[in-house]
Amino acid sequence: MATKRGVGTLADKVLIVTGASSGIGAATALAAAEAGMDVLINARRMERLARVAELVEERGRRAEIVVGDVAEQGLSQRLLDAADERFGRFDAVFANAGYGMELPATEVPEEALRAIFETNFFASVELIRLSALRLIASGRPGHLLMCSSCLAKFTLPGFSAYSATKAAQAHLCRAMRFELAPHGIEVSSVHPITTVTEFFDRAAERSGRESTPSGVHDHVPRWMIQTPERVAAAVIQCLRRPRSEVWTSHIVRLSSGLFNAFPSVLDMVMRREAKRLREG
């Protein structure tokens, strides 16, 4: 049984990243290549994945592409098999694929609620669980990560469905971290704040709203907006020095603790956001 936890040095290690055609996933794949890792990247858009793969190879590392929706049956197995076939192994997995919506809970159709859980939660769980089982069988250490959100720790009106999926991810990661520790396997949840990606454009489409020119929600203050590269750098740092949670904003992390310790403070924020959502 392995006793050393984490992947240690990243040179010549192999990272699997889902949702890697843009945003946090693409930035993480490139940051991993710069850190000396080979990558297996997955998303639904071949052209964008091919461009990310080119950029990885320009950095002197190898890239393998697997096209497909993470909610597709059998895709998780395909990813792990492809890593074994191309690289002979994998050392870390970043279950990053996911999406959001902004609708009151009573306006989220049941099929939409089930669909967001299938992609954000169940697909991530399947990939992480199967990865853990394969690592255990091989006797190798590893590092498994899920891209959760700061909204895993508190929620806002209109984001109940998205927040619920992210909270479920965070709880599962925390439990698995201790369940898998005897096998030398690290588990971490990643908690970005507002990030300049396609997230808000896609969320606007699903919510029946127009997207904003800035690519982020129009009520988010500038100081709460980060780049995908900022999140990617935090993920790479966690791969080097594993920890249970990855945060990219000390202020938001402290705020989440305040909200949990003093729910009345969050209530004030929630009332303001609920009014904004109603007035739309």
Beta bridge partners of 95: 146
**Distance, CA of 70 to CA of 2 (rounded, Å):** 29
How do strand 14-18 and strand 92-95 relate by DSSP bridges?
Answer: parallel
Residues taking part in catalysis: 162
3-state secondary structure at position 192:
coil
Q: Strand locations in the chain, DSSP E?
A: 14-18, 38-43, 63-67, 92-95, 142-147, 185-191, 194-195, 225-226, 245-247
Structure tokens at 158: 């209109």
Structure tokens at 264: 């009345």
